[in-house]
Chains A and B, each alone.
Chain A
């Protein structure tokens, strides 16, 4: 495992686009997640109201609301990590280095494992980043403090971890199938931002009695952390992660992982 991680590290260490994208991602994620209060205060000053509630009193960063709030917000940015993952695999096809890696003595399983380890590492770092951000923001803004309240509801971080991990393994699969960087990135973005969400929207209009569309992959992943903001205008929200949703996502995680291995095992490598 150490060997595989070193190999991936050697490949990426001086690959500028990777570091630029990654830095941009964390910058944007950090900025957006930490400026919600400023934004709410700004729109309040413009006289905007949420169902007669002053936006600036919304306790966005309060322990323990903060965890669902920022993890929900952060999931919107995972597509950029997806692009990074796509690039890291399609480049290997583009340069034909995947073939040379195997000729040099890597097994196909080891090759995919290097990419899965990269994904795992990205996801761990990403989750730790959010944990740190949550602690800092909560410490600044939250009227209640203390270890007991702080990490109550921090389980959303685990859901976030699973959410991003599964999405990135899906991104890897798209890269494995499409092989061309540009196409794969466009397809990943189109599918996960438009095709599936819009498809689900349409289906849910026609088949309101059924819920099968909740099991589409992107939808299932996004279902893990539901939108929490309704509670600030006194709506009923789901403030927990449903077991069924976790199971469904785990099934997808297993399926995507398996497909990545299977496709490579089965095919000629050009």
Chain B
């Protein structure tokens, strides 16, 4: 099966700024792919290039194993940066323009508006919408052609926590329908919740790419405490699946091998006759991972 999107050695320069620099990336079908990176790291530029609105300097990209064309764009639902619509047209009228472009029957419009919960405001002009409604309309528009792939560039930008939660739920529902989603975001918490894979860009270069689960597992830290801390430390160190043990503020921090969890450690301690007074498993957050990846990349 072809990757949905395959980017090879992409370059783009704006004057003195090398916005994208030798970027290669593959997005497999059915994944929810997060693109992370600090401001100005080239996320939007990359998405702009693969959507044919920004000219690349060098490199190639393919959609569904074919060279890009307007036909492939019709099968992609994409929002770049902010929701873009004719302000004086109503939601329905705006979606009619998109439906004509994508060659989709108008009957589809009602469906997508219902889906994003905008059916009641469908006759109102776009300019009267709140930011959250604009984002939802953009998602409705991207869903019009029932695309195999959706591209979302900061879909929760500027929303309040409730708005963020709404958009997140929408994205999760879309992903559950088996669509591939490519999403640029700053909200690592969001990416952690919805993405299966992620890539990290820095100054236009790819510095990391992999699965979210893999990135978060294997770095589990278990915190334990007991009445006799010295004995606890001694026994815990004998657990065969321990990578590292350290003591901090009366709590023992135990780093385990990837396949083991706090459950295994606890069972071992009980077998050795140690009763613990505190046990908790700290899963690593994507945020921490992300900062580590950025810090460990040179430059």
Interface residues of A (CB under 8 A from B): 3, 6-7, 10-11, 13-16, 95-97, 99-107, 110, 266-269
Task: Given A103-B53, A107-B70, A268-B55, decide whether A96 and B100 contact each other with a Cβ distance below 8 A.
Answer: no
Q: Is the interface of A mostly helix, strand, loop or mixed?
A: helix
Interface residues of B (CB under 8 A from A): 48, 51-55, 70-71, 73-74, 76, 78, 80, 82, 84-90, 93, 96-98, 100-103, 141, 145
19 further A-B pairs in the complex, CB-CB below 8 A; given A3-B103, A7-B97, A101-B97: A10-B97, A11-B86, A13-B93, A15-B88, A16-B88, A95-B84, A95-B87, A97-B85, A100-B85, A102-B53, A102-B73, A103-B51, A103-B53, A103-B73, A104-B78, A104-B102, A266-B55, A268-B48, A269-B54
Q: Which of A3, A7, A110 has the most CB of B within 10 A?
A: A7
Q: Is the CB of B84 within 8 A of A100?
A: yes
Cα of A61 to Cα of B52 in the assembled complex, Å: 55
In the complex, chain B residues whose CB is within 8 Å of the CB of A7: 97, 100-101
In the complex, chain A residues whose CB is within 8 Å of the CB of B73: 102-105
Cα of A99 to Cα of B52 in the assembled complex, Å: 9
Cα of A3 to Cα of B74 in the assembled complex, Å: 15
Q: Indicate which residue in B82, B93, B96, B101 contacts A105 across the interface (CB closer than 8 Å).
A: B101
Q: Which of A13, A104, A267 has the most CB of B within 10 A?
A: A104
Chain A nearest Cβ from B262, distance in angstroms: 47
Residue of B nearest to A94 (CB): B87
In the complex, chain A residues whose CB is within 8 Å of the CB of B54: 268-269
Q: Is the CB of A106 within 8 A of B88?
A: no
In the complex, chain A residues whose CB is within 8 Å of the CB of B80: 99-100, 103
Residue of B nearest to A4 (CB): B100
Q: Is the CB of A14 within 8 A of B93?
A: yes
Q: Is the CB of B96 within 8 A of A10?
A: yes
Q: Which of B54, B98, B101, B103 has the most CB of A within 10 A?
A: B101
In the complex, chain B residues whose CB is within 8 Å of the CB of A10: 89, 93, 96-97, 100
Chain B nearest Cβ from A228, distance in angstroms: 42
Cα of A227 to Cα of B103 in the assembled complex, Å: 49
In the complex, chain B residues whose CB is within 8 Å of the CB of A106: 70, 101
Q: Is the CB of A95 within 8 A of B85?
A: yes
Q: Is the CB of B55 within 8 A of A267?
A: yes
Cα of A11 to Cα of B71 in the assembled complex, Å: 22
Cα of A104 to Cα of B83 in the assembled complex, Å: 13
Q: Is the CB of B86 within 8 A of A95?
A: yes
In the complex, chain B residues whose CB is within 8 Å of the CB of A95: 84-87
In the complex, chain A residues whose CB is within 8 Å of the CB of B97: 7, 10-11, 101
Q: Which of B52, B86, B102 has the most CB of A within 10 A?
A: B86
Cα of A143 to Cα of B53 in the assembled complex, Å: 61
Chain A nearest Cβ from B92, distance in angstroms: 10
Cα of A3 to Cα of B101 in the assembled complex, Å: 8
Interface pairs (17), CB distance under 8 Å: A10-B100, A14-B89, A15-B89, A95-B86, A95-B87, A100-B84, A102-B51, A103-B76, A103-B80, A104-B74, A104-B78, A105-B73, A105-B101, A110-B70, A268-B53, A269-B53, A269-B54
In the complex, chain B residues whose CB is within 8 Å of the CB of A13: 93
In the complex, chain A residues whose CB is within 8 Å of the CB of B53: 99, 102-103, 268-269
Cα of A10 to Cα of B89 in the assembled complex, Å: 9
In the complex, chain A residues whose CB is within 8 Å of the CB of B93: 10, 13-14
Residue of B nearest to A104 (CB): B101
Task: Given A10-B93, A103-B73, A103-B78, decide whether A3 and B100 contact each other with a Cβ distance below 8 A.
Answer: yes
In the complex, chain A residues whose CB is within 8 Å of the CB of B101: 7, 101, 104-106
